[in-house]
Each structure stands twice: as structure tokens, then as C-alpha cells.
């Protein structure tokens, strides 16, 4: 009976404190658009078409695998690189996909090769090595070390196996990481938790404020030991979320990019120096996962702590790969300008 009452209480808190009105959201947007780092862009009318840009003869696309001792899974990844790599080092950019997507979606839906080739031909970016890994766990790993299943350590795989493997095979200089949706979460989380590795981090409509995604940040601020029982969620995704991150507030905070920014600011502010963040979202990307609201949270925090960032809000865009494909040239240019 006590568990049922606790669950009902948690649901009531969730409903009352996470229900954000459009009026309140619009007020926050108006404030954020006053920041010089933020742009409100018109709907992107057209992206690059498949095959519209011929692949360079110097481009090499490889599919590779690692038998991971951390994830206990055969992990697949794609590497896009110049064929001739002698004589210099190249910036490296990791791209992370969204929930239940696969690495190939960056090629077929994100048009990453066409976007890269076009930007390169226009002289807007440098040559890069781009790595596109599958997330693992059938596209639902959240790039995390699972809280409840200790054999599933996907963050450890990326940091301790994948990145060293890439560095051993390619002449890499500085490293950046970006992602869409769940991948945006992974990019910011892996970047912030391993900030000595990543110089630039990017998010397309990312789940970058887990507290808002699960239980409102105001609740966590007051009750960090709040327990969220899985049965209060009917959604398969949210039940899986608790399996990955845990049911307690303090567990979620450790994996939450919004909270990690604050932690770094107060404990190791020097680590945020010379680190850069790119984050964009569509103004229609609200329910059910509140990506717009999460973007607002993180933009506000980066501004508050004077961290280097660029924020873009796109009019009329929602949570789609089409939007990602159209915004990708902007991210590539942002990264290229900041990676040596």
C-alpha cells in the first residue's frame, strides 16, 4: 500500500510541476533570443539531396566492429575519412544517433557525406575523420553505463575501447562529438564527463536536460533522493530510461548534461575554458519529450556560467532527421572553426 501511495504522490508531483504552459515557454524564448549567442532562424526550406554532390575520390568509408568487453556486445561503427592520411593530423568528429536508430541513418537520412563534401568544396570546413558508431543495445543504450545491469557499460566502451581504437588507426588531432536526440544527450554527457577528450560538443534536438525529461528540475533541486517507481510510467521508453539511469534523483543527476555543466562550473571551472557547445532545436519540438524546453534549460545555464556556445532555434522545425540534415552544414562549420 505504501508503494502505491508513493507512486500516486510521484505522479501528482510530476503532473503539477512539469506541466509548462506555452505562455511560459514563449516568455523564456523571448528572453533567450536576447542573447547574442542565440539565433532565431527561419524554417530551413531545402537540404542537400542524396547523390547531388559526387563523392570525392579521396573519401574512404569503412564499417568496423569491436568485441566490447565493457558492453558485452559486438559493437559496429562507420568511419568516413580521407584515403590519403600521410603527413598531417586531422580533427575527428563523432556522430551519435537517436533512440532505435542506427549509424547508417547519419548517411541515409542525415546526408552526412553530401553535407560534408559540399562544405569541403566550398572551403567552409577542413578535412576531417568522422566516426559514426551504433549505440548498442538495439539502439537504446543512451551511451550510458546502465545502473541496473552492470554488464552493459556503453560509456566505458566509447571512452576506453572505441576512441583508443580510432586514435591507433588514424592520425587524429583534436576531437569533437555531436548527436541527434538521444545522441545529443550522449554527445553532451560523454563530452562533459570526459571533458579532457572532447573540445567541441554538439546537439541537434538533444535530450540534454534529463531532469526535465523525467521529473522536473524543481523537484530534484528539493528532493535529490526522490524515488520514481517504474510502474508510474506507462511508456516503454520511460521505463527503460529508469533501467538505464536509475530511479533515484541523485542517480539521474550524475548522467544529466544540464546538471553536469553546473557541477563542472563549481568544482573545476578551468575545464570549461576553451570548450565549445553547439545546440539547435525546432520551435515545434515540444511534446512528448520536451526537447525545446530542454534546449531552453541548457542555453540558459551555458549563458549563466559564461561558457562558449552557439544556439539556434528554428521556426517551424520538429523532431526529424530532415531538420538535422539541413542544419548539419552549420554544425560542421562550427566544429571545423574550433578544432585543429
pLDDT in tens, 151-177: 999 999 999 999 999 999 999 999 999
- What pLDDT is recorded for position 54? 57
Q: How many CB atoms lie within 10 A of CB 47?
A: 19
pLDDT at position 186 is 98
pLDDT at residue 202, rounded to an integer: 99
Would residue 311 be called left, alpha or beta, if left means φ above 0 and alpha means ψ between -120 and 50 degrees? beta
pLDDT of 214 strictly over 80: no
CA angle 335, 213, 209 (to 5 degrees): 35
With beta carbons less than 8 A apart as the criterion, state whether 77 and 134 touch: yes
Q: CATH number, domain at 96? A: 3.40.50.1820
Distance of CA 218 to the CA centre of its chain: 23
Q: In which region does residue 149 sit, left (phi positive, over 0), alpha (psi from -120 to 50) or beta (all else)? A: beta
Q: By percentage, how much of the chain surpasses pLDDT 90?
A: 70
Cross-strand partners of 145 = 153
Q: What span, in angstroms and rounded, lies between the C-alpha atoms of 320 and 150?
A: 32
Q: Quick one: pLDDT band at residue 40, thresholds 50, 70, 90? A: very high
Structural contact between residues 92 and 166, judged by C-beta atoms closer than 8 angstroms: yes
Among residues of the chain, what percentage have pLDDT more than 70?
A: 83
Q: Look at residue 57 and tell me whether its pLDDT is greater than 90.
A: no
Nearest to 123 by CA among 333, 335, 326, 276: 333
Residue with cell 542565440: 38
Q: What is d(CA 248, CA 232) in angstroms, rounded to the nearest whole number?
A: 14
Structural domain of residue 254, as residue ranges?
A: 2-338
Average pLDDT, the chain: 88
> How far apart are the two ends of the chain, measured CA to CA in Å?
60
Q: Which helix (H) or strand (E) holds 261?
A: helix 257-267
Q: What is the pLDDT of residue 239?
A: 74
Full-model pTM: 0.88
3-class DSSP assignment, residue 241: helix
Beta strand 198-204 pairing with 38-41: unpaired
Q: What is the mean pLDDT of residues 95-104?
A: 98
Q: Taking phi first (over 0 means left), then psi (-120 to 50 degrees means alpha), and beta for anything else, what does residue 78 get?
A: beta
**Residues paired with 202 in a beta bridge:** 178, 278
Question: What phi and psi, each to the nearest 5 degrees, are found at residue 214?
Answer: -100, -70
Based on the structure, what is the number of domains in the chain? Answer: 1
Q: CA-to-CA distance for 264 and 268, rounded, in angstroms?
A: 5
174 phi/psi in degrees, rounded to 5: -95, 160
Amino acid at each position: 500500500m505504501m508503494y502505491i501511495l508513493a507512486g500516486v504522490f510521484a505522479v501528482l508531483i510530476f503532473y503539477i510541476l512539469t506541466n509548462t504552459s506555452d505562455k511560459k515557454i514563449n516568455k523564456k524564448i523571448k528572453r533567450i533570443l536576447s542573447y547574442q549567442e542565440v539565433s532565431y532562424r527561419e524554417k530551413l526550406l531545402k537540404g542537400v539531396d542524396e547523390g547531388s554532390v559526387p563523392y570525392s575520390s579521396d573519401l574512404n568509408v569503412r564499417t568496423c566492429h569491436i568485441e566490447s568487453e565493457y558492453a558485452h556486445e559486438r559493437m559496429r561503427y562507420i568511419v568516413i575519412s580521407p584515403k590519403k592520411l600521410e603527413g598531417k593530423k586531422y580533427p575527428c568528429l563523432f556522430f551519435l544517433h537517436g533512440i532505435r536508430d542506427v549509424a547508417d541513418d547519419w548517411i541515409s537520412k542525415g546526408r552526412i557525406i553530401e553535407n560534408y563534401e559540399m562544405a569541403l568544396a566550398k572551403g567552409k570546413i577542413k578535412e576531417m575523420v568522422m566516426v559514426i558508431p551504433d549505440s548498442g543495445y538495439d539502439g537504446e543504450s543512451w551511451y550510458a553505463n546502465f545502473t541496473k545491469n552492470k554488464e552493459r557499460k556503453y560509456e566505458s566502451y566509447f571512452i576506453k575501447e572505441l576512441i583508443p581504437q580510432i586514435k591507433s588507426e588514424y592520425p587524429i588531432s583534436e576531437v569533437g562529438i555531436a548527436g541527434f536526440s538521444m545522441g545529443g544527450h550522449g554527445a553532451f554527457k560523454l563530452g562533459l564527463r570526459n571533458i579532457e577528450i572532447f573540445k567541441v560538443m554538439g546537439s541537434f534536438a538533444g535530450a540534454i536536460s534529463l531532469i526535465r525529461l523525467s521529473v522536473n528540475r524543481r523537484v530534484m533541486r528539493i528532493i535529490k533522493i526522490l524515488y520514481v517507481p517504474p510502474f508510474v510510467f506507462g511508456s516503454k521508453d520511460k521505463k527503460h530510461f529508469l533501467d538505464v539511469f536509475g530511479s533515484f534523483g541523485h542517480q539521474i543527476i550524475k548522467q544529466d548534461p544540464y546538471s553536469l555543466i553546473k557541477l563542472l562550473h563549481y568544482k573545476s571551472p578551468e575545464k570549461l575554458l576553451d570548450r565549445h557547445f553547439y545546440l539547435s532545436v525546432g520551435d515545434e519540438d515540444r511534446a512528448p519529450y520536451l526537447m525545446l524546453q530542454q534546449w531552453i534549460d541548457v542555453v540558459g545555464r551555458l549563458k549563466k556560467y559564461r561558457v562558449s556556445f552557439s544556439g539556434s532555434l528554428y521556426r517551424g522545425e520538429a523532431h526529424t532527421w530532415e531538420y538535422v540534415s539541413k542544419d548539419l552544414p552549420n554544425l560542421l562549420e562550427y566544429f571545423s572553426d574550433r578544432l585543429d
